[in-house]
Each structure stands twice: as structure tokens, then as C-alpha cells.
């Protein structure tokens, strides 16, 4: 089947099998390898993308269901060459090490800040708790999100 | 000398690539024409293979190669058995399977779905055998044997011992003897990027491997040996690695991918599913029996340790873990009499191997819990007891070595201070007494009790290893660093770039670090054991010094000025006092090339294990770590809240405090998971929680609200700028610090990891197993 997927503001016609997951279509057919496969069951958050602004696990969603929605991946976060404040804060605070969870972590944080521009620490912990990082202690991520929230 | 870049909390040089989602990992790579490999795995923990037939799978359209034992037994492409320590493993099972998940066959097909479908067409007939799933049971005389053909008695895979003094004499000299048994669960690394690789054979028989491995040269050498190739015919390229923690060292999935690639004549990619990662490598579960003799004044006299590491079905790196732990099991204390016996025991479970901490967490749980027990019996403050006995500069270790750069005393004092040791909340005299006496802090109120606990640990890095690196000055004045050190998050690219920037007085942005590629980047033993700062860092200091010498020599020749009158600054070599009179690095690079001697430098750092008479001075280093915890235990529910944690280490010199702090906290965070809930559960050898849905990892909600770090710096005489590795300093301290805090909060001693709510409740109810 042919889908017209709207990703990071651009429409991509893409030929997919009906059973294909959004994560695989993004990675294998559109070559957007930012979103990562960590667990394959929607638990780790490495595959998080935004669908009409809502964070979703792209490893659980059939690509066909994403048609007609605005899909945002980490590749679209920086604008006009400049890093998003979250991206800058992540570097400054050491909010990642291996970086594998980072694309999902950033998109989840963006969803939070879009709703709650100045979240409390408790809100960050609550909202982000579905994203796993095995390298850092999360403290650095919390600091980065709070910092980016300060504008 | 004042340092400018080294010692600064600079952001990672790979930061921008990573936040843009542009960093490429093994699972992101594609090679034209590549096939997808999948592995058929045993559903039984122990069974004889009666029949394996992949003929139907091979006929499925889209399948390009199948691999079964016939390929290994009838062909001569690969050695029948391989293994880093013992050759007890084969590419796929030959005569029997020894754990649920043991590879039996593999398929390469044009896409994943076809490969998956083909696996179901492989016909396998098993005859189930009795299995054994626990190291104590596995040593029983009548236990089923896993490797009888290797002559392994009672499933003992390996035994390592360390002896110093005479423990029997030590018991006689002691006023008090404490003996306990502690257990740790089998856990898994859970690096977020699953194991992934692509292998391609070219027509000339050369092999290229793209793998997310920590050991590019290890994979090169081992794969060459397995496939009977000259090592020069194997090239290993390592992109960014999405976490390793020991799980991605030496051969893992590369042999199967390589065989499928050879047989199909096409590149083959294998990326494991999460469940398969749990089957590939684990951290050893262990049973640690520890006996300690002490004098009435708190002086430790003797310690005897027996550890049974549950090493699973194949030796893997297990015997090396156990060997190292044998030297470290008595802990960082002055002890005249030490005897340790460290066993690896085969069981019908996935193989256990290297995991951050390398056998130390399992023994630190025992020795640090026991320190508090001794303090309690003697009526001493646990901090005082540790300070009285802990090793310091020049102390003889259990191995006989004279220790160096082991700042335990300042570290202990600072970590204790950071947790508010000796003060309860509010810090009144009465509360102080309650703290010291071990009773719970009554201030928490209701059913909740608070307590604090301390722990320390010692771990050695590689005692014998080599790092080589290269450095070249480019025509644009930038510098390219050639190193086989793998970036898996721990930050070596940034650390090495800082060193080069420091030595050549360059901005950090002018230094580029090439990815490991064994055709290009020089030999390095491996990226393990927290060794890269010390070993590769030293090599890089030497390479940079050589590059600087070359730059200055050339400028001196061109300017006809003595080298002593030249300064290196801002990417230029110029005459002191006349900055305009000089050359940029790029100019010098071009001229050097024209003269036929390009600006290239090499650096080497090598350490050999000392042998011979005492006293010995080791060229390598020890990791020195500490932790302090404050918990709140609900006596009604058994729930333990970690209120505050302090993770500390002696870094020698923190080359980048931002990244160093991240290592200390990140290491401790894995420790938090393993303290409270991480455990691979097996029922009759069947793994029951080998997915992220069921195997719970620490999340944003599991870390304490107050999570601090303490770094002390006792310069190491052989370290670059005095630095040592730190990445395994804190993980081992978490469980004993928490256990000690729970004891002081509610009076129960937990001896079995993880400290689940159920175990806390059972202990509170006086139901602790066997009253050990």
C-alpha cells in the first residue's frame, strides 16, 4: 500500500506492507534512523516520536495509522541549522552518554515543554518516566529539561 | 603547568551528532545487497540434539543460506569449538543444547520476515536431559554435568585462589569471628542498543565486520582464529555503541553472521531482539560465604571468602571475572591473613561474563555488610571501623602489592559528610545517639524509619595491556586522532580530544577522533575495565608530545630559530615575543609532507603484570569507590525509599568533571536497579522475565531526589595528569550501603539481592531464610 506520511513538515509518499510499523518505515524506508529500537514492546521509549504533538512509541504503531498526522522525529528538532534549547541543554548538562535513548528522550521532553513550558522537577520525573536511560542517573536529564524550560 | 582544557567540565565532542539523531550505531548501518540473519534457539535448558534438518528452510524463496551443525561438522570453514578462555562453545550447537536460547541453527534471507518464516521450517528433534540451575546444586556429586567431555568435575568451570598469611593462625589471633553467606541474583546489562553487526566476505576472502563491539581487536583476532584466517584478513569497524557495560566484549553474534555471510556470499546483518540479548550474556549471580576474624579493638585480622559464581552454560569470560574477584574479594582492608577461593560453576542458564564491576559487586555486598555487622557487635561506629582498617598509600594488598593512589580515607570522610553521617535530620544530640546506636531515627514517625549506610570498594583495572594510537596534523591545521578505543558513552573521544588539545594548545573543536577501524586505527587491547583514560590517555599524551616535537622542529628549521625560542599557541608555532613570525599547523603539515615526512606521531603505553618477589609496584591502577545512602523503610509495607545517595571515587585527577560525575552517578544508578529489583528469573531453566516489560530497569522515579557525587584526587604516578579510570567505582557500593542503611533503620539484615519489598517484609517478620 502507498502512504503519504507527513514527517518533520514534509510529505513523503512511501510504499509499505500493511503490517509495517511506523518505526521501521521511518528507519528503513525514510532513512530517519534517529528513532531507535530498544525493546520492541513500547517500554523503553527509545523509539518515541510525536504524532500530532503527542508522544507515542513508534515501535507499536502501524505506519498506516500515522497517515494524515504530523509526525515529528528528532531529526526535525533543530531549526534553521540551530539546535533546539533542549538539545543544547542536553549537551551542557551531560544528559546522555551513549546517546541511544537521546532521540526518544528529547522528543518526550519536547512534548512536556510544549504542554508545560516551566515544569517542576516532579512533573519532569512523572512525564518522562516511560523513557529508560541505562547510562546516566536521570539527574542530568532532569536538569537539562528544567534548564530548557527556563527558556 | 597550568592546564587549560584538561580538568575542565567541557561538553562531549560527540554531543551535537547525538542530539541531532545523526550518530550512527551498528543497528543503523546498511550495506548494499545485505541479507538479514535470524537465529533458531533452543526451547530446552538441557537436551541432546537428535536431529537437525534445515532442508525445507533452505528451499523457502528468499532464503540465501542456512547454518546448522552439519556445516561445522562436515566442512572445514570453522573450528568446531571456540571460546575466550575455554573452547567449550560452538557457532551453533553440535551435540546438545545447554540453555534456553542456545543457538541451534541460523538463516540468512532477503528480509527479516522471510528469515523468521524460514526458522520455523527448520526441523529439530531434542531429547531432554535433566538440568541444573543453581551453582550449589550444580556442585553436588550426582548433579547433571554440562561439559563432561571437557573433563569438568562437578560442573566446576574454574577455580582461582588468593592466599596471604595463614587464616588458621588468624582465627587464633582473633577475639571475634563472624561468618555469613550473601547471594546476588543473575542480572543483565540491558544496554539499550541490542547486539548488532554486519559481516561481509569479499571475493578475495577478506572479511569486513561492522560491529557494536567494545573489543575491535578482540573480535578481529578471535574471528580470524575461528575461521582459520590470517588476522590481517579481518577488518573490524566500530560505529557508535549504544551502551555496553561489558556485554559487547569479544565474540557474541559475529561468528553466526560471518558464517552466513561466507555461505551466502552476501553481507549479512544480525540485530538481536531484546529477548535474545538476555540469552547472549548476563552478570553472574553468586553465593558468597565470608568469614572474618577481628580483634576487640576493631583491628581486622583474617578473612576467608568462598565465592560460587553462577557462570551459566559456557565459560565465556567467566573464569577471568572469577580470577580477578579472587584477588579483590577481601576488600580494601589491611589484613594479615587472607584466603579466597573463587569458583565459576556451570549451570543450564545463559552464559555470564564481563559486567561493569567485574565480580566485585557480588563480594563487596558481603564484605561491606559484614563490616557493619562487626561494628555493631563491637559497638563501634562503622565509619571509624572502616577508617581504622582501610588500606592507604603503601599498604600491602591481598596480592602482596604495595598500593598506590588509593585515597579511601579522604573519600570516606567526604562521602560520610555529604550524607550527614552522625547527624539525623535536624542533628540533635539525641538523634545522633540513635544514629550511632543503630536504632531507627524516630523522627520519621508512624511506620516509617530512617537510616544511613556507608560502603566502599576496590577494583583493579587490566594489569597487563597495551594501547597504541596515532595522530596526524592536517593541512587545515586540525588534528586527527586514530584510536581503537570504543565510544560507548563513557566519553573517551572527548577525553582524548581534551588531551590532544591540551598538549598542542588547540581549541577542542580542532581535534577530530576517528572511529575504530582495525585497518586504520592502531592496536588497543580493548575498551573494558575502565582502562581507556589511563592506558589510551597515556598513549595519547605521548603521541601529542611527539607531534609537538615534530611541529617545533620543523618550524625551528624553517625560521632558523632554536626550538627553545618557539611557542606553540592557537594552532601556530611562532617565535617567542613575535607572534607574527611563525607558521600555522596547516602550513607546517603541508611543508612536512612536501619534505617527505608527514606530521604523524604515534604513542604507546604498555603495562605488564609484575611477577617476582615482594615488594612489587604495579604499573596499572586500582579503582577506589564509595557510597553513602539514606533510606526510609515502611515497616508496614516493607517498602524502602532511597532518600539520598552519594557516589564517590578517587579519580586520581578528573580530566573532565562533567563526564566524571556522570560516570559516578550512572554507575551507581545501575547499582540502584540491582539493589532493589533487577533479577533474571528462571523456572526450571526457563527465563520468565527476559523482556523489558517484565525485567524492571531503574526509571526517573527510582532515583533519589538528592543524588550527589564526591571526587577526590590522589594523583597516580603513572596516570596521564595523574588520572585513573573511574567508571566502575560506585556500582558495587550501592547494595551494601543500602543494606547497612536498612539495618540501621529497622534492625534487619538483608543478605540476598535484590532487596525486594517482599524480602524486607519477611525479614521484618523474622522469617529470614535459615537464620544465617
Cβ-based contacts under 8 A for chains A and B: 161
pLDDT of residue B688: 97
Q: Which residue has the cell 615526512?
A: B597
**B146 neighbors B346 (Cβ within 8 angstroms):** yes
Contacts of A87 in chain B (CB under 8 A): 16, 19-20
Average pLDDT score over residue span B615-633? 87
pLDDT bracket for residue B613 (50, 70, 90): low
User: Is residue A140 helix, strand or coil?
Assistant: helix
The answer to whether the complex's ipTM is over 0.85 is: yes
Rounded CA-CA distance B201/B213 in Å is 19
Strands B337-346 and B300-312: parallel
Could you read off the pLDDT of B169-180 as tens digits, one per residue?
999 999 999 999
Mean pLDDT score, B754-758: 97
Cα distance between residue B677 and residue B269, in whole Å? 34
Reading the block at residue B376, the C-alpha cell is 555493631
Identify the pLDDT of residue B562: 97
Interaxial angle between packed helices B318-328 and B360-378, expressed in degrees from 0 to 180 and rounded to the nearest 10: 30
With 0.90 as the threshold, say if the pTM is over it.
yes
Chain B: residue nearest A26 by CA?
A: B28
**DSSP string covering B515-566, please?**
PPBTTTSPPB--S-TT-HHHHHHHHHHHHHHHHHHHHHHHHHHHHT--GGGE
Ranges in chain A annotated CATH 1.10.150.120: 85-150
Contacts of B325 (CB under 8 A, 6+ apart): B160, B307, B309, B340, B342, B358, B359, B360, B362, B363
pLDDT digits (tens, 9 = 90+) for B352-382: 999 999 999 999 999 999 999 999 999 999 9
Q: If you ran DSSP here, which 8-state letter would residue A26 be given?
A: I
Predicted local distance difference test score (pLDDT) of residue B1: 64
DSSP per-residue codes, B474-486: -TTS-EEEEE---
* Residues paired with B139 in a beta bridge: none
**Numbered ranges of CATH 3.10.20.30 in chain A:** 2-76
Chain centroid to CA B422: how far? 34
Q: Reply yes or no on whether the pLDDT at B769 is more than 80.
A: no
- Among A35, A72, A99, which would you mutate to test the B interface (most chain B Cβ atoms within 10 Å of its Cβ)? A99
Measured between beta carbons, the chain B residues lying within 8 angstroms of A132 are 192, 692, 697, 699
Mind listing the pLDDT tens digit for each residue in B113-136?
999 999 999 999 999 999 999 999
Stretch 607-626 of chain B: residues touching chain A, C-beta under 8 Å: none
* Cβ contact A90–B658 (<8 Å): no
Mean pLDDT score, B386-402: 94
State the average pLDDT for chain B: 94
Q: How far apart are CA B220 and CA B208, in angstroms?
A: 9
A138 touches chain B (CB under 8 A): yes
- What is the spatial distance between Cα A104 and Cα B38, in angstroms, rounded to a whole number? 27
* In the block, residue with C-alpha cell 577471568: B320
Share of chain A above pLDDT 70, in %: 99
**pLDDT of amino acid B276:** 98
The pLDDT of B751-759, averaged and rounded, is 98
How far is Cα B627 from Cα B612, in angstroms, rounded to an integer?
Answer: 35
Whole-number Å distance between alpha carbons of B618 and B612: 12
Average pLDDT over residues B700-727: 97
* B431 close to B424: Cβ distance less than 8 angstroms: yes
Longest dimension (CA), chain B: 85
CA-based end-to-end distance of chain A: 43
Neighbour count for residue B688 (Cβ, 10 Å): 12
Please write the tens of the pLDDT for every residue from B651-685. Answer: 999 999 999 999 999 999 999 999 999 999 999 99
What confidence category does residue B427 fall into, taking pLDDT thresholds of 50, 70 and 90?
very low
Task: Provide the mean pLDDT of chain A.
Answer: 97
Q: Looking at the domain that runs over A85-150, which CATH code has it been given? A: 1.10.150.120
pLDDT digits (tens, 9 = 90+) for B510-526: 999 999 999 999 999 99
Whether B531 has a pLDDT exceeding 70, the answer reads yes
What pLDDT is attached to residue A68?
96
> What does the pLDDT look like over B243-259, one tens digit per residue?
999 999 999 999 999 99
Burial class (CB in 10 A: 0-12, 13-18, 19+), B334: middle
If DSSP states are collapsed to H, E and C, what string results for A77-116? Answer: CCECCECCHHHHHHHHCCCCCCCCCHHHHHHHHHHHHHHC
> CA–CA distance from B256 to each of B84, B217, B259, B502 (Å)?
16, 18, 5, 44
Higher pLDDT, B297 or B771: B297
**Closest residue on chain B to A105 (Cα):** B19
Average pLDDT over residues B745-754: 97
Which of B14, B20, B21, B273 is the mutation pick for testing A, counting most A CBs within 10 A?
B21
Instruction: Pick left, alpha or beta for residue B758 (phi over 0 → left; psi -120 to 50 → alpha; otherwise beta).
Output: alpha
- DSSP H or E stretch at residue A148: helix A139-149
Instruction: Say how far apart CA B757 and CA B740 lie, in whole Å.
Output: 16
Query: What pLDDT shows up at residue B425?
Result: 40
Looking at beta carbons, which residues of chain A come within 8 Å of B23?
99
β-pair type (B337-346, B448-460): unpaired
Question: What pLDDT, on a 0 to 100 scale, did the predictor assign at position B321?
Answer: 98
Does position B332 have pLDDT exceeding 60, yes or no?
yes
Q: Closest by alpha carbon to B287, among B303, B305, B309?
A: B309
Taking the CA of residue B655 and the nearest CA in chain A, the distance in Å comes to: 15
As a whole number of angstroms, the distance between CA B316 and CA B532 comes to 23
User: What tens digit of pLDDT does each residue of B534-581 get?
Assistant: 999 999 999 999 999 999 999 999 999 999 999 999 999 999 999 899
- pLDDT (tens digit, 9 = 90+) per residue, B333-345? 999 999 999 999 9
Coil, helix or strand for B567?
A: strand
Would you tell me which CATH number, out of the four given (1.10.3720.10, 3.90.280.10, 3.10.20.30, 3.50.50.60), belongs to the domain A2-76? 3.10.20.30
Query: Beta strands B479-483 and B511-513: pairing type?
Result: parallel
3-state SS, one letter per residue, for B282-349: EECEEEEEEEEEECCCCCEEEEEEEEEEEEECCCCCHHHHHHHHHHHCCCCECCCEEEEEEEEEECCC
- Of B264, B280, B282, nearest to B272 by C-alpha is B280
Amino acid at each position: 500500500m502507498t502512504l503519504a506520511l507527513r514527517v518533520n513538515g514534509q510529505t513523503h509518499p512511501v510504499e509499505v506492507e500493511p503490517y509495517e510499523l511506523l518505526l521501521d518505515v521511518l528507519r528503513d524506508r525514510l532513512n530517519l534512523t534517529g528513532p531507535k529500537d530498544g525493546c520492541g514492546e513500547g517500554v523503553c521509549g527509545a523509539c518515541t516520536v510525536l504524532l500530532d504533538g503527542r508522544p507515542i512509541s513508534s515501535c507499536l504503531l502501524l505506519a498506516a495509522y500515522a497517515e494524515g498526522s504530523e509526525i515529528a522525529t528528532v531529526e526535525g528538532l533543530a531549526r534553521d541549522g540551530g539546535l533546539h534549547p533542549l538539545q543544547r541543554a542536553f549537551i551542557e548538562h551531560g544528559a546522555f552518554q551513549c546517546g541511544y535513548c537521546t532521540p526518544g528522550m528529547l522528543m518526550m521532553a519536547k512534548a512536556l515543554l510544549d504542554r508545560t513550558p516551566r515544569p517542576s522537577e516532579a512533573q519532569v520525573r512523572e512525564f518522562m518516566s516511560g523513557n529508560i536511560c541505562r547510562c546516566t542517573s536521570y539527574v542530568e536529564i532532569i536538569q537539562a529539561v528544567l534548564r530548557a524550560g527556563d527558556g | 603547568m597550568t592546564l587549560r582544557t584538561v580538568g575542565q567540565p567541557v561538553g562531549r565532542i560527540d554531543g551535537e551528532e547525538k542530539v541531532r539523531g545523526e550518530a550512527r550505531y551498528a543497528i543503523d548501518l546498511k550495506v548494499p545487497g545485505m541479507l538479514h540473519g535470524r537465529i533458531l534457539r533452543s526451547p530446552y535448558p538441557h537436551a541432546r540434539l537428535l536431529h537437525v534438518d534445515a532442508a525445507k528452510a533452505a528451499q523457502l524463496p528468499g532464503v540465501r543460506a542456512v547454518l546448522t551443525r552439519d556445516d561445522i561438522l562436515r566442512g572445514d570453514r570453522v573450528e568446531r569449538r571456540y571460546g575466550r578462555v575455554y573452547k567449550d562453545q560452538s557457532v551453533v550447537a553440535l551435540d546438545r543444547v545447554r540453555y534456553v536460547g542456545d543457538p541451534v541453527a541460523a538463516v540468512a534471507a532477503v528480509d527479516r520476515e522471510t528469515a523468521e518464516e524460514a526458522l520455523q521450517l527448520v526441523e529439530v528433534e531434542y531429547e531432554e536431559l535433566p538440568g541444573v540451575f543453581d551453582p550449589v546444586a550444580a556442585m553436588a556429586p550426582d548433579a547433571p554435568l554440562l561439559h563432561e567431555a571437557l573433563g569438568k568435575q562437578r560442573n566446576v568451570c574454574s577455580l582461582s585462589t588468593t592466599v596471604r598469611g595463614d587464616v588458621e593462625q588468624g582465627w587464633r589471633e582473633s577475639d571475634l569471628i563472624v561468618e555469613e553467606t550473601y547471594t546476588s541474583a543473575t542480572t543483565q546489562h540491558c544496554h539499550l542498543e541490542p547486539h548488532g553487526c554486519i559481516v561481509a566476505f569479499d571475493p578475495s576472502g577478506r572479511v569486513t565486520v561492522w560491529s557494536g563491539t567494545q573489543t575491535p581487536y578482540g573480535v578481529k583476532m578471535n574471528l580470524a582464529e575461528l575461521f582459520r584466517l590470517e588476522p590481517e584478513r579481518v577488518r573490524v569497524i566500530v560505529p557508535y555503541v549504544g551502551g555496553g557495560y561489558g556485554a559487547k566484549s569479544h565474540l557474541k553474534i559475529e561468528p553466526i553472521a560471518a558464517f552466513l555471510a561466507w555461505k551466502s556470499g552476501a553481507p549479512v546483518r544480525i540485530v538481536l531482539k531484546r529477548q535474545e540479548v538476555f540469552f547472549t550474556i548476563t552478570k553472574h549471580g553468586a553465593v558468597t560465604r565470608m568469614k572474618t576474624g577481628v580483634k576487640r579493638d576493631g583491628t581486622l585480622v583474617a578473612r576467608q571468602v568462598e565465592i560460587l559464581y553462577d557462570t551459566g552454560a559456557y565459560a565465556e569470560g567467566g573464569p577471568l571475572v572469577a580470577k580477578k574477584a579472587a584477588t579483590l574479594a577481601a576488600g580494601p582492608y589491611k589484613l594479615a591473613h587472607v584466603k579466597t577461593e573463587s569458583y565459576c560453576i556451570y549451570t543450564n542458564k545463559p552464559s555470564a561474563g564481563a559486567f561493569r564491576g567485574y565480580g566485585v559487586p557480588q563480594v563487596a555486598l558481603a564484605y561491606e555488610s559484614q563490616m557493619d555487622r562487626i561494628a555493631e557487635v563491637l559497638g563501634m561506629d562503622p565509619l571509624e571501623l572502616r577508617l581504622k582498617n582501610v588500606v592507604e598509600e603503601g599498604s600491602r594488598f591481598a596480592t602482596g602489592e604495595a598500593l598506590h593512589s588509593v585515597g579511601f580515607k579522604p573519600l570516606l570522610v567526604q562521602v560520610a559528610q555529604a550524607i550527614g553521617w552522625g547527624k539525623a535530620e535536624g542533628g540533635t544530640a539525641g538523634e545522633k545517639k540513635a544514629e550511632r546506636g543503630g536504632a531507627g531515627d524516630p523522627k520519621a514517625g508512624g511506620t516509617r524509619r530512617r537510616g544511613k549506610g556507608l560502603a566502599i570498594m576496590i577494583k583493579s583495572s587490566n594489569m597487563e595491556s597495551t594501547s597504541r594510537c596515532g595522530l596526524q596534523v592536517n593541512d587545515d591545521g586540525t588534528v586527527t586522532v586514530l584510536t581503537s578505543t570504543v565510544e560507548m558513552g563513557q566519553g573517551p573521544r572527548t577525553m582524548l580530544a581534551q588531551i590532544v588539545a591540551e598538549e598542542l594548545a588547540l581549541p577542542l573543536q580542532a581535534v577530530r577522533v576517528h572511529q575504530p577501524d582495525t585497518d586504520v586505527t592502531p592496536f588497543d587491547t580493548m575498551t573494558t575495565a575502565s582502562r581507556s583514560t589511563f592506558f589510551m590517555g597515556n598513549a595519547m599524551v605521548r603521541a601529542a608530545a611527539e607531534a609537538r616535537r615534530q611541529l617545533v622542529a620543523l618550524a625551528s628549521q624553517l625560521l632558523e630559530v632554536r626550538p627553545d625560542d618557539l611557542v606553540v599557541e592557537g594552532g601556530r608555532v611562532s617565535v617567542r615575543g613575535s607572534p607574527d613570525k611563525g607558521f600555522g599547523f596547516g602550513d607546517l603539515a603541508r611543508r612536512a609532507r612536501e619534505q617527505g615526512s608527514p606530521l604523524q606521531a604515534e604513542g604507546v603505553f604498555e603495562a605488564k603484570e609484575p611477577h617476582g618477589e615482594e615488594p612489587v609496584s604495579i604499573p596499572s591502577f586500582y579503582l577506589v569507590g564509595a557510597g553513602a545512602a539514606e533510606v526510609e523503610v515502611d515497616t508496614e509495607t516493607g517498602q524502602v525509599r532511597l532518600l539520598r545517595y552519594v557516589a564517590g571515587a578517587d579519580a586520581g585527577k578528573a580530566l573532565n568533571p562533567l563526564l566524571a560525575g556522570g560516570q559516578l552517578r550512572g554507575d551507581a544508578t545501575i547499582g540502584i536497579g540491582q539493589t532493589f529489583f533487577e533479577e533474571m528469573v528462571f523456572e526450571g531453566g526457563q527465563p520468565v522475565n527476559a523482556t523489558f516489560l517484565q525485567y524492571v530497569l531503574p526509571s526517573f522515579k527510582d532515583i533519589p531526589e538528592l543524588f550527589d557525587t564526591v571526587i577526590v584526587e590522589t594523583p597516580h604516578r603513572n596516570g596521564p595528569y595523574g588520572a585513573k579510570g573511574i567508571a566502575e567505582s560506585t556500582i558495587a557500593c550501592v547494595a551494601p550501603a543500602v543494606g547497612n542503611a536498612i539495618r540501621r533503620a529497622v534492625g534487619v539484615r538483608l543478605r540476598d539481592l535484590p532487596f525486594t519489598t517482599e524480602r524486607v517484609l519477611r525479614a521484618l517478620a523474622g522469617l529470614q531464610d535459615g537464620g544465617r
